[in-house]
A and B are shown apart, each in its own frame.
Chain A
Amino acid sequence: MSIFEKTMQEMREDQRIPECVEEVFAETLDNLPEKKRKTANRKWYKYAAAALVIAGTINCLANPAFAAKLPLVGNIFRMVQEKVPFSGNYSEKAESLTVIGTEDSQSRVEQNDYSVTVGGVTFTASEVYCDGVSVFLTAEVTNDNGGFAKIPGESMYLRGSWNYEGEEYSWGMEYLRGVVVDDHTFVGMVKFNLPEYATGPKKLTVSVTSIGWDDVDIRDNDAEAHRVKGNWNMDIPFTADTETVKNITVGREEKGYTLEHIILSKYQVTAQVTAPDKECYVALFTQDGEALAFESGSMDEDTGVNRFFFAVQGKTITKLYVSVWDDFSAWVQACKQGMDSIDADRVVLIEELEM
């Protein structure tokens, strides 16, 4: 037997699994869902990564002085709303989940039913807003052991799942984007994309199973430097605010790709394209040919429905050019360089819509 064959045999016989893998494996099998899990966030990684490449990182600075003037919980939108990718004025319309104390109450609420502490880490839901397409939830995370001052960027990482209308949705890894307030406190916003357009009062059940964050002193760039596991579960009531939302049915089909809907709210534009078993990417351009910032996307593998989410970021949109692509690199180039860069031979379809 050659050395090569011997090594391959050793590899075949090696049944060892590292403890951290074993742990997740067993935990997953122990908690197999009874009902079919929805695939709203499938392909999350691919699209989230693209969002980073296209948009770059947002600039986000901690501002403890500002934070100190107001109670944190109940006022988090004000602190983060201009610093998150889906920026805009949420604070006027958001629903507070807390009974807020006075300004003298040392940045603390007097009563809060939306707060859970596990292992010294407290997750407190603060305010919620829904534009019919997504739920935007703000939260404060505190850690008795501190360490948040070493967070290098503007995000913490949440893992777990959420339940809406009786269906469970896998979260993968989700960003809580916001600001470091002090070494023990981080506040931010997390976004949930609802499976269908919502109206009226609804409820979201959030189950966070781990909270993670980076550390400037730990150059482990493949994963969070710190990750606390637990069960931070809570019900979040909200009422969809769809007064100013435009929901346009398009129904244009080309080469097996169907542009179904465009939904425009104050904060985001959502494009829905059905393309079973195909690579599918969407870029949006305003009346000026400027690309809207792509933020995330998802695909339901059962139905072939792709949804792409773009940030409005305060732009006045009177016309939208919707372009659908089957080529990743061409799409990235279009998103980065704007409508003038489009190579007509490489785009699947373009639709012009008056808004």
Chain B
Amino acid sequence: MDLLVQRAKRQDKTAFIQLMEKHKSSMYKVARAILKNDEDVADAMQETILTCWEKIHTLRQDAYFKTWLTRILINHCNAMYRKRQLCVAEVQEEGGMDYGYCDVEWKVLLNALEEKYRLLIVLYYVEGFKSREIADMLGIKESTVRTRIARAREQLEMQYKR
């Protein structure tokens, strides 16, 4: 992976494309934890790819590529989310999320969580980031991350019991 990052930093398109393909699924899950429809997710991922392509030479430590990529993605998703929130502020949403395909139990469960917990669950349990890394990524205290992860898990466990 680090070799790919090094090549991508030298503007090797093939290497960069391989890197993005490797992280595609992760990017989708993280973005979907923030955004409510797949079109917005696609746009946020597109912006993230372009930002990373432009800025990859600024990445200092190759080993932190995934953290760096995820932080950029979250920023784009948050910007998009804020826009959508404000644009539709007076419109009541109908129904749940637009899932895009059928076998989506994990998405249904995530949707049951409060927004502030959803992203943490994906970053911690699915993408394997450490609480310290998540804290840096989101600009919150590590203790807050740990507390929220515990509460999120409690909330999810409650969902199973219903």
Listed in ascending order, the chain A residues whose CB lies under 8 Å from chain B are 3-4, 7-8, 10-12, 14-21, 23-25, 28-29, 32-33, 36-37, 39, 43-46, 48-50, 52-53, 170, 172-173, 219, 221-223
Q: Report which residue of B91, B93, B100, B153 has the largest number of chain A beta carbons within 10 angstroms of its beta carbon.
A: B100
Which of A4, A8, A20, A45 has the most C-beta atoms of chain B within 10 angstroms of its own C-beta?
A: A45
Chain A: minimal CB distance from B3 (Å)? 19
State the CA gap A3–B94 with chains docked (Å): 30
- Between-chain CB contacts (< 8 Å), 12 pairs: A4-B156, A8-B121, A15-B25, A20-B39, A21-B45, A29-B49, A46-B82, A49-B83, A49-B87, A53-B89, A170-B47, A170-B50
| Contact in complex: A36, B54 (CB < 8 Å) | yes
With A24-B42, A29-B20, A32-B53 already in contact, 5 other A-B pairs whose C-beta atoms are closer than 8 Å? A21-B28, A49-B85, A49-B86, A49-B87, A52-B87
Question: By the criterion CB–CB under 8 Å, are B79 and A221 in contact?
Answer: no
Q: How far is the CA of A133 from the CA of B143 in the complex (A)?
A: 47
CA distance A18 to B109 in the complex (A): 18
A170 to B101, CA, bound (A): 30
**A7 in contact with B36 given A172-B47, A221-B88 (CB within 8 Å):** no
For the complex, give the distance between the alpha carbons of A17 and B24 in Å. 8
Least CB distance, A250 to chain B, in whole angstroms: 28
Interface size class of B (residues with CB under 8 A): 35 or more
Contact residue among B79, B91, B101, B156 (Cβ-Cβ distance under 8 Å from A18): B101
Q: Does B37 contact A (CB under 8 A)?
A: yes
Contact with A along B25-58 (1 / 0, CB 8 A): 1001100000011111111011101100110000
A277 to chain B, nearest CB (A): 12
Would you call the interface of chain B mostly helix, strand, loop, or mixed?
Answer: helix
Known: A16-B101, A18-B38. A25 touches B157 (CB 8 A): no
Check B82–A17 contact: CB distance below 8 A.
no
Residues of B within 8 A of A16 (CB): 25, 101
Partner pick for B106 among A14, A25, A52, CB 8 A cutoff: A14
B36: min CB distance to chain A, Å: 6
Given contacts A7-B105, A18-B38, A223-B40, contact A46 B20 (CB under 8 A): no
Instruction: Tell me how far the C-beta of A11 lies from the nearest C-beta in chain B, rounded to whole angstroms.
Output: 4
Q: A17-B28, A20-B39, A222-B88 are in contact. Are A11 and B83 (CB under 8 A)?
A: no
For B119-162 the 0/1 string (1 means CB < 8 A from A) is 00110011000000000000000000000000001001100100
B53 touches A24 (CB 8 A): no
Q: State A295–B106 Cα separation when bound (angstroms).
A: 40
B79 and A43 contact, CB distance less than 8 A: yes
Contact partners of A23 in chain B: CB under 8 A: 42
Judged by a CB distance under 8 angstroms, whether B13 is at the interface is yes
Note all chain B residues with C-beta closer than 8 A to A52. 86-87
> How far, in angstroms, from A219 to B92 measured CA to CA in the complex?
10
Nearest CB in chain B: distance from A230 CB, A: 17
- B16 an interface residue at 8 Å Cβ cutoff? yes
| Residues in chain B near residue A18, CB distance under 8 A | 38, 100-101
Query: What is the bound-complex CA distance between A16 and B106, given in angstroms?
Result: 13
The reply on B17 being an interface residue by CB < 8 A is: yes
Is the beta-carbon distance between A50 and B47 smaller than 8 angstroms? no
Given A18-B38, A24-B46, does the pair A46, B17 have CB atoms closer than 8 Å?
no
Shortest distance between the CB of A298 and any CB in chain B (Å): 12
Contact B106 A223 (CB under 8 A): no
A93 to B117, CA, bound (A): 54
B17:A221 contact, CB within 8 angstroms: no
Q: How far is the CB of B40 from chain A (nearest CB, A)?
A: 6
**For residue A29, which residue of chain B has the nearest CB?**
B17
Q: Are A24 and B43 in contact (CB under 8 A)?
A: yes
Select the residue from A16, A17, A50, A52 with max chain B CB neighbours within 10 A: A17
Which residues of the other chain, B, contact A28 by a CB distance below 8 angstroms? 45-46, 49-50
Q: CB within 8 A of A222: which of B16, B53, B84?
A: B84
Cα–Cα, bound, A15→B25 (Å): 5
Closest B residue to A224 by CB, please name it.
B39
Cβ of B86 and Cβ of A50 under 8 Å apart? yes
Report the bound CA distance from A150 to B134 in whole Å. Answer: 45
CB nearest neighbor in A for B76 = A45
User: Considering the chains assembled together, what is the distance between the CA atoms of A173 and B125 in angstroms?
Assistant: 33
Residues of B within 8 A of A222 (CB): 36-37, 39-40, 84, 88, 98
B157 in contact with A11 (CB, 8 Å):
no
With A4-B160, A12-B126, A25-B42 as contacts: A46 and B37 at CB distance below 8 Å: no
